[in-house]
Structure 1
Amino acid sequence: MSSPLQLYKYERFTAQSLQNLKDQLIYFGSPLAFNDPYDCALSPRIKEPTDADVEKLRSHYLAKPEIENGIRREFEKASPAVLRDMLLRIGQKTLDDMIKRFLSQRGVSCFSEKKDNLLMWSHYGDHCKGFCLEFSTMADPFHKIKKVRYTQDMPILDIVPILCGEDSDPVSDLYCTKAIDWAYEHEWRAIHNQTGTAYRYPSEALTGIYFGPDMPLTAIEIIALVLAGQNEHVQLWQGSRSKFNFSVEFQPVNYISHLEAKRLGLLGTAGT
C-alpha cells in the first residue's frame, strides 16, 4: 500500500522538540511509552493449524539435520491432534519471545494523514498550543512506513509461516494494529531496528509547519527563526478554529523578522 504524499507529526513546543527541529531529527521511541494500553499488551490469538498445516510443519522439522533423535521420533510418531497441541505451545512461546524482543529493542515513530483533527491537536499538539510537522514521504525514513490497521477484535496470527521461517518479522505488522477507537488518528508508523534512535532526515523532507490556534506568537517566531537559518523552503501555516465545522483551518504565514522589517521600513509588520 502506497503512503500519502505527506504525513504529519504533532509536537509540543518544548526545548527537546526545538532541538529536534534544529538538528532535523525524528526520534524512534519504545512502544512501552505509548498511551494506548493495548500497544504494549497485545495478546494475539493463534490460528489453529489445519491437518495440512500440521503435516507441513512436521515435514519442516523432520527436514532439519540438527534435530535430536528423540524429538525426531516424537515428530514422526505423534498423531495430528497431539502434534497440533505441541505446535500451538511452541508457536505461543515463539510469539511471546518475539513480542518481548520487539518491545525491548525496536523503536517506533508515529505520523498521521491528518493535520486538522481537533482530537489530534488536543492529545498530541499540547491542546492547540503546539505545532505539526509536514513531511514529504518521498524521502527517508518513509520508504518502509506502515499504515496502522484499526479493528474491533484482537489480531489472529498464523503460526505456520513463522515456525517455517517464512515470516521473519510478524510483530511489526502486529504493532501496526490498534483498536478501532483510535481510527481518528489515521496513523502510519515507521519502525527502526533499535529503540532510542534519533534519525537525521534530509532538509527537503520537511515541507511545512502548522502552528496550533493557541500557539504563542513568541513560539512561532522562534520556530520561524530556526527555519530561516536552514530550511527557508518550509511553508509556515497559522491555525485557527473553523467557524463551520469541528476542525482547525490554516492560512499561509510569511514571517518577517524584526530586523528585516526595520531594514525594509516595515516596522509594525514584523512577525506577519
Structure 2
Amino acid sequence: MKVYKYSPFDNYPIQNLKNHDLWFSKPSTFKDEWDSNLPVIDCDLEVLTKKYAEDLSKIPNEQLQGLSPPKGLFETLESKDTNDSSEQTLLKLICDYKDSFVGISCFTTKLNDQKMWEEYGDNHRGFCLCFETNLDHSFFKDLTEVQYEEYLSTVNYFSHDLVRELYIQYTTKLKNLVWEEEYRLLKHMSGKFSYNPKCLTEIILGKNISHKHSNTINNILQNSYENQVKISRN
C-alpha cells in the first residue's frame, strides 16, 4: 500500500528525513479540539480498574507487550491507586494516558492533491514523502484508516473491547475532513521513530520549492538513501 506525507521544508522534517525518522505527535498538540478527544462515557474508576486487572491476568505477557498503544492504558490502570480521590476520574486518567503513551503520525492516500499541498505542504513550497508500507511491515503494521462521521462517537472504556475503543478515540474525525483520506500510525509514545529507508520510494517536490531547498533534499537522498529514492515535482 502506498501512503503519502506532505510536509513543509523546515529544520525538523529535514533532519528526520536525513535520519530515516518520522515524528509521532502527542494528540494534545493537534489543532482540532475534537481530534483524539471524543466524548467519553464516565464510569467508576475503581470498578474499571478491577475489570482490567482481571483481564490483564488472562493475557499472555508476550501479547501484552505487543499492545501498543493500548498497553499504556492497561499499565496505568493496573498501577493506579484508586484510593487517591484527587486522581479518581476516568477523564484525567485518559488525558494522562494520551500524554504519556500515545504518539500519532498522519498520512494520506491522496497523491499530488492541491488542497493537501496548500494545507500541509506549505502551499507547494514543501515536499511529499511517498511510502510503500509493504517494504517495512514492522513499522507500518498498525496503520489504520481514519473513519469520518457526521457526529462524533462516544467512547465507552467499560466496553468488553478496550482496544477497539482506544482506536475509535484516535482514528475518528468529523465528515467535513473526509477530503483528507487520512491514515494514522499509532506508537506507544510521542517522539521520533525510525523506518527502513527502503520503504521511502519517492519524494515529490512542491512546485514552489526553492532551488536551494531542492538541492538540500537531493543531497540527503544521495548521502542517506544511496540514490534509491525517486525524486519528482508536482
TM-score normalised by structure 2 residue count? 0.73
Q: Secondary structure at the match of 2:189?
A: coil
Identity of aligned residues (%): 26
For residue 115 of structure 1, what is the aligned residue in structure 2? Answer: 111
- Is the contact between residue 40 and residue 156 of structure 2 (CA under 8 Å) also seen in structure 1? no
Q: Give the letter for the 1:149 counterpart.
A: Q
Residue 190 (structure 2) pairs with residue 201 (structure 1): no
For residue 23 of structure 1, what is the aligned residue in structure 2? Answer: 19
Aligned residues: 189
1:224 aligned residue (214, 218, 223): 218
TM-aligned CA deviation for residue 36 of structure 1? 1.6
- Determine the C-alpha separation between the residues in 1 that align with 2:182 and 2:95: 23
| Structure 2, unpaired ranges of 5+ | 55-88
Q: Secondary structure at the match of 2:128?
A: strand
For residue 129 of structure 1, what is the aligned residue in structure 2? Answer: 125
- Determine the C-alpha separation between the residues in 1 that align with 2:41 and 2:175: 18
1:182 aligned residue (169, 177, 181): 177
Q: Secondary structure at the match of 2:232?
A: strand
Q: Give the letter for the 1:155 counterpart.
A: S
- Determine the C-alpha separation between the residues in 2 that align with 1:98 and 1:152: 27
Question: Cα distance 1:102–1:183, how it changes in 2: closer, same or farther (>3 A)?
Answer: farther
- Is the contact between residue 45 and residue 155 of structure 1 (CA under 8 Å) also seen in structure 2? no
- Determine the C-alpha separation between the residues in 1 that align with 2:213 and 2:166: 39
Q: Secondary structure at the match of 1:229?
A: helix
- Is the contact between residue 151 and residue 177 of structure 1 (CA under 8 Å) also seen in structure 2? yes
TM-score normalised by structure 1 residue count? 0.64
Rg larger for: 1
- Determine the C-alpha separation between the residues in 2 that align with 1:97 and 1:176: 20
- Determine the C-alpha separation between the residues in 2 that align with 1:29 and 1:160: 26
- Is the contact between residue 5 and residue 129 of structure 2 (CA under 8 Å) also seen in structure 1? yes
RMSD: 2.4
- Determine the C-alpha separation between the residues in 1 that align with 2:163 and 2:149: 23
- Determine the C-alpha separation between the residues in 1 that align with 2:216 and 2:20: 15
TM-aligned CA deviation for residue 112 of structure 1? 0.6
| Structure 1, unpaired ranges of 5+ | 47-56, 65-92, 240-272
For residue 152 of structure 1, what is the aligned residue in structure 2? Answer: 150
